[in-house]
Structure 1
Amino acid sequence: MVAATSAISFLSQATFTITTRGGSSSVSSVATLHAHEWFSLVNFTSSVEMRPCLASLGFRPVKQVLVKCSCLDSSINRHTEIEAVTFLMGFGLNDEGIELLFEKNPVLRVTSLDKLRARLFSLESVGIKGFALSKLIMNSPDLLTAEEIDPLISFFLDDLGGMIEPVQVERLFTATETEFLVGFDQKVRLLLRLGVPKDEIVHVLNHFNLSKGLCYKSVEEIDKTIDFLKPFGGTDLIVRRPTILNYNLEAQLIPRIGFLKELSGNDLVGTGTVLQKYPRILSYSVNHVTNHVEVLRSFAGLSNKEIFKILLIAPGVITTSRERKLLPRLDFLKQCSMDSKDIFKFLTKSPQFLSLSFDNIQLKLVFLVKMGYRYRTKELAIALGAATRTSYENMQKVIGLFLSYRLSLTDIHTMSKKHPQILQYGYSPLKEKMEYLIEEMGREAGELLAFPAFAGYKLDDRIKHRFEVRRKTLGDGMSINKLLSVSAERFSARKKENHVPS
């Protein structure tokens, strides 16, 4: 027995050569063996006669006992490891990186080359290639062996048509522990059942944090979130702003929407309108929105109802910087002798005034002063409000058009005081109206001084139609004010009165 034990010990430590011979041992070829330095697959078994020894110890005699050297399993693992190293080098990893990879995920040392190859090619099939793939497996080495990966990739390819952007898949795998990838497909199907259109699901999945919005949320939490959003747009809101799925229901969505509801006087329809018009508002904290509302309330003197009406028209006001834009511009309106009522009326017509760049405002302000407006007057503020509803370039061209018809800056000033919108009309439509006024109607450009609102009527539906109808009965000398300003009902009545039967 001692001899047998010594022999086994020797097999596990010594270096020796075995030649294949009939029956006593089996080796695939002549090989030099060492416990830690095998590079070929070897199946070594030794047959040892132990009858006398066993009998003397009281055991039932047996014909033979098989002894397998433990170093052989090590050699198989070592061979697998070498294959893995060679294969991984083909993906841009160096020796140091591969060793670090093995330290993070020791299972890789005994993962077959076929499995490793299949997994890497599978990751490539969803668009993660080259440096991005090397970086991904270094950051998340468990992806090479985790069982959760293949079903998820199959879902990406088969059910979603391979349309998820590679960067999204990469972020998902980098940020999510593999066990939380289980059920991803079920949560996507839940979104479909809850109302996200099938043709929009890929768009939605490509535009929010998949790890934060799906993997680390339970099915119940996702269901509750969309149920809470139903009165305000539900899945339509999700399609318009997929990042809403990133937000925590209790800590973020409920307080933020609750603040808007309170501001509206619990107007669910109005709150929904604000959210659908500008779902980005949900990305701002309650504290941020509260501070903006407080400026409008305390500094501009507006009520909650008035503030909410402004948000209904231009919810983007909430994104405006308080220090750089909101406070200085409200102060400008107050310097122009506007009270809270004037400011409310101004902001409902020209909310862009609060968000335009300083350069944009300055250029238009200079133009208006050159036209004859006095600084810090209500008239200047009203004209500036109209100017904010068009680009500076268009405003330049409009003023240039009037000048080309021999109207002076003073004339333009006079027209804009009567009808501030004249500064915001589009250049091309206004040019057509001026041409029709002069060439077809036979009028002078100076007639606009008395009736600048002419520029606001539609050329075909209003100006041409009425002029052609009335010219048949009254000739060409009719007032353009009377021609255009009367209601459709009164115009039709006059048409009948002046109709002469043939």
Structure 2
Amino acid sequence: MVAVYALFTHAFPSSSSDSLFSFPPSPQPTAYFAPPSLSTFRNHEWFSLLKFTRTPRADPKPLLTQVGLRPNQRILIQCRCINSATNALAEMGMLFSFFQEIGIDGEEAQVVLDKNPALTSTSLDLLRTRILSFRSVGVDGLELSRLITKCPSLLTADEIDAFLHFVRHDFEGKIEPPQLKRLFGTTEARFLVGFDQKVRLLLHRGVPREKIFDVLNKLNLYKALCLKSVEEIERTIAFLSRFGGIDLIVRRPTLLNYDLDTQLVPRVGFLTELSGGDEDATGTLLGKLPAILSYTVDHTKGHVELLRSLAGLTDEQIFKFLLVFPNVVSASRERKLRPRIHFLKQCGYSSNDIYKFLIKAPLFLGLSFEDNLAYKLAFLVKIGYKYRTKDMAAAMGSATRTSCDNLQKVIGLFLSYGLSCGDIVIMSTKHPQILQYSHSAIEKKMEYLINEIGREVGELLNFPAFLGYKLDDRIKARYELRKKVLGEGMSLNKLLTVSSERFSTKKPAYVVENENLNEEMEVLSDK
């Protein structure tokens, strides 16, 4: 009893031994944890008793006598108060020390306790086990202390244990820590219930096991799984199965973030209507770019309306163009689509010409003008193309399929072989694709033309398409096969343009002559 009394008086020093029930001053700060503030103790039963019996600098005995307590009972109450206060102080000290260990200082710890008073009655062993569970899935250090400060219920909510166990054991901890941090920072623990069931649904509906980690790491887990019921997720998968099914989700997991009735159904419906009601064609479009469903109906409709009104394209043509270049919906209508369609119209293109141009050169609507198209346009004007002509538009369309660096090297290569800028314009007007071929491939073909076939580079002016055929599989193979029969003066155009089937069945002239001669000999011998 004397030892307990001494401990209590040491913890709460007073000017008088009779002031045991006076309010205790704040303890001095130590090197281990920040001191708890007054509000820390307000929830303890011993504090309520101290507060009730607090009579500074007064003898507590008259007050205890008034409530009808005998002397031995008064001593027992005093002892119990001392023991409770001492134990509570020790427990609070250990709790604040625990917070200090995980990076939460005294003031932050006080905030945490104010937000989640249940922590004061939670076993330290349970709290440490919960911290180890967080660390086992990669949530640790400063991020963990911030999460706990923001959401103190993470330390006491029963739902957390089941979720962490699922992530750690069933998924081998392969959900990325940043994804888990975002989830813990935005989701109430009650929404984690059933998370494992929803993930198993995705596996059951066809998401490959090796892909499920990638899917979960790209989702907004709160929107896609926590806020939605199993039935809602099932309905979404069933709807998308008409247009590509689970493969769309594997390729674009964020589709699960969207609401089925207010987002996915209207967006798919608009594309289906544009296709003329062809769900298979719509599925083909979604398969090429599942991300097209991330754009609102109003956004996509604005692009369609511009192509319809300014370019004069029909809905059928617009949908076919979307199949070729679905990323057009990401291009700015005012900065890219409108001025470039105006350019084609200024070059003399009709609506049908614009459609054919866009099908062949869809990137014309998507490339940056300042970093790409402007340089290519300057190259073409410099070698002699007239501005705002169909030939220039065709050359620009071909140039969109190559880099600025390669285009410059191609033009420089032609010039190095003695061709003039005018010659380049003539060749590229006949066969615009020469502007997009790899300069290294062109150089090999020109070397073979000059050194092996023995022709002049000027022959390219008449047959620039020579540069478009494969060197080994077409040019060399056919030339070597026909060289002995036709000689070196054979027509390159006829040699390369005839189809493979016709080329393989066409007999050389000397074979035909021999066959005719043999037939005549057989007739004479019969006679």
Report deviation, 1:320: 0.5
Aligned equivalent of 1:112 = 123
Aligned equivalent of 1:451 = 463
Matched, 1:280 2:291: yes
- 1:290 is aligned, of 296, 301, 323, to 301
Task: Give the Cα–Cα distance (whole angstroms) in 1 for the partners of residues 437 and 498 of structure 2.
Answer: 21
Report deviation, 1:490: 2.0
Task: Give the Cα–Cα distance (whole angstroms) in 2 for the partners of residues 455 and 72 of structure 1.
Answer: 97
Flag the 1:270–1:497 CA change in 2: closer, same or farther, 3 A: farther
Task: Give the Cα–Cα distance (whole angstroms) in 2 for the partners of residues 77 and 172 of structure 1.
Answer: 35
Report deviation, 1:437: 1.2
Report deviation, 1:74: 5.7
Aligned equivalent of 2:449 = 437
Aligned equivalent of 2:45 = none
Report deviation, 1:76: 3.8
- 1:415 is aligned, of 381, 404, 427, to 427
Structure 1 portions without partners, runs of 5+: 1-17, 21-26, 40-65
Q: Secondary structure at the match of 2:175?
A: coil
Greater helix proportion: 2
Q: Secondary structure at the match of 2:449?
A: helix
Flag the 1:89–1:31 CA change in 2: closer, same or farther, 3 A: closer
Aligned equivalent of 1:462 = 474
Aligned equivalent of 1:43 = none
- 1:94 is aligned, of 94, 105, 109, to 105
- 1:424 is aligned, of 408, 425, 436, to 436
Report deviation, 1:495: 3.4
Aligned equivalent of 2:217 = 206
Matched, 1:306 2:317: yes
Aligned equivalent of 2:373 = 361
Listed as ranges, the matches of 1:133-212 within 5 Å are: 133-212=144-223
Deviations along 1:125-160, whole A, 9 cap, x unmatched?
111122111111111110011111112111111111
Task: Give the Cα–Cα distance (whole angstroms) in 1 for the partners of residues 130 and 477 of structure 2.
Answer: 72
**AA in 2 matched with 1:475:** G
Flag the 1:88–1:404 CA change in 2: closer, same or farther, 3 A: same
Task: Give the Cα–Cα distance (whole angstroms) in 1 for the partners of residues 465 and 246 of structure 2.
Answer: 44
**AA in 2 matched with 1:488:** S
Flag the 1:218–1:70 CA change in 2: closer, same or farther, 3 A: farther
Contact 2:272 2:282 in 1 (8 A): yes
Listed as ranges, the matches of 1:462-501 within 5 Å are: 462-495=474-507, 498-499=510-511
**AA in 2 matched with 1:184:** F
- 1:390 is aligned, of 387, 393, 402, to 402
Report deviation, 1:117: 1.1
Task: Give the Cα–Cα distance (whole angstroms) in 2 for the partners of residues 141 and 345 of structure 1.
Answer: 62
Aligned equivalent of 1:32 = 8
Matched, 1:230 2:206: no
Contact 2:485 2:508 in 1 (8 A): no
Aligned equivalent of 1:8 = none
Contact 1:208 1:245 in 2 (8 A): yes
Task: Give the Cα–Cα distance (whole angstroms) in 1 for the partners of residues 451 and 267 of structure 2.
Answer: 58
- 2:262 is aligned, of 230, 251, 256, to 251
Q: Secondary structure at the match of 1:180?
A: helix
**AA in 1 matched with 2:270:** F
Which has the higher mean CA deviation after the structures are superposed, 162-171 or 396-405?
A: 396-405
Structure 2 portions without partners, runs of 5+: 10-19, 28-75, 516-527
**AA in 1 matched with 2:320:** K
Q: Runs of at least 4 residues of structure 1 off by over 4 A? A: 33-39, 70-75
Aligned equivalent of 2:64 = none
Query: TM-score normalized by structure 2?
Result: 0.82
Task: Give the Cα–Cα distance (whole angstroms) in 2 for the partners of residues 427 and 74 of structure 1.
Answer: 87
Report deviation, 1:73: 5.0
Flag the 1:73–1:428 CA change in 2: closer, same or farther, 3 A: farther
Report deviation, 1:366: 1.0
Contact 2:348 2:389 in 1 (8 A): yes
Flag the 1:140–1:32 CA change in 2: closer, same or farther, 3 A: closer
- 2:96 is aligned, of 85, 99, 105, to 85
Query: TM-score normalized by structure 1?
Result: 0.86
Deviations along 1:147-199, whole A, 9 cap, x unmatched?
11112111111111111110000011111110010111111000000110000
Aligned equivalent of 1:122 = 133
Which has the higher mean CA deviation after the structures are superposed, 200-209 or 115-124?
A: 115-124
Task: Give the Cα–Cα distance (whole angstroms) in 1 for the partners of residues 234 and 82 of structure 2.
Answer: 55
- 2:355 is aligned, of 321, 327, 344, to 344
**AA in 2 matched with 1:315:** P
Contact 1:84 1:116 in 2 (8 A): no
Flag the 1:31–1:74 CA change in 2: closer, same or farther, 3 A: closer
Question: Number of residues paired by the alignment?
Answer: 452
Task: Give the Cα–Cα distance (whole angstroms) in 1 for the partners of residues 488 and 499 of structure 2.
Answer: 20
Which has the higher mean CA deviation after the structures are superposed, 254-263 or 233-242?
A: 233-242
Report deviation, 1:496: 5.4
Deviations along 1:202-222, whole A, 9 cap, x unmatched?
000000100111011000000
Aligned equivalent of 1:60 = none
Contact 2:485 2:509 in 1 (8 A): no
Give the CA RMSD over aligned residues. 2.1
Task: Give the Cα–Cα distance (whole angstroms) in 1 for the partners of residues 465 and 82 of structure 2.
Answer: 98
Q: Secondary structure at the match of 2:437?
A: coil
Quick one: percent identity of the two aligned structures?
A: 57
Q: Secondary structure at the match of 2:180?
A: helix
Q: Secondary structure at the match of 1:32?
A: helix
